[in-house]
Amino acid sequence: SISKTINVPSDIDYDAFNDIYLYSYQKGLKCFTTFRFNPDAFQGVLVREQDIANTRYCFTLSDGTTVEARGDEEIEYDGEVHTAANLYDALKEGYYGKL
């Protein structure tokens, strides 16, 4: 069996996205999936370092001020150092401090 994962741009339009699946079917792939980087949804394991570095994450502190950081930027939170992308995901998904 043959399978493939392809990274697609965040701004790919529906027709181009659909064409990828049609092409894979026509070529006889048994399994095919796509990964579209969407930092608002999740960081993902297939994300390129450049995408993380180019993504800005905004944190709102308890006093209402906001802090913006690049995804690859290290920031201290709760006495520990994290990348902004990892911390953002952990806080958003509710698993920070639970693993």
**pTM, entire model:** 0.55
Residue 41 sits at φ, ψ, to 5 deg, of -90, -55
Nearest Cα residue to 27 out of 43, 4, 44, 48: 4
pLDDT at residue number 53: 86
- pLDDT tens per residue, range 22-67: 998 898 888 888 877 665 555 666 677 888 888 899 999 889 999 9
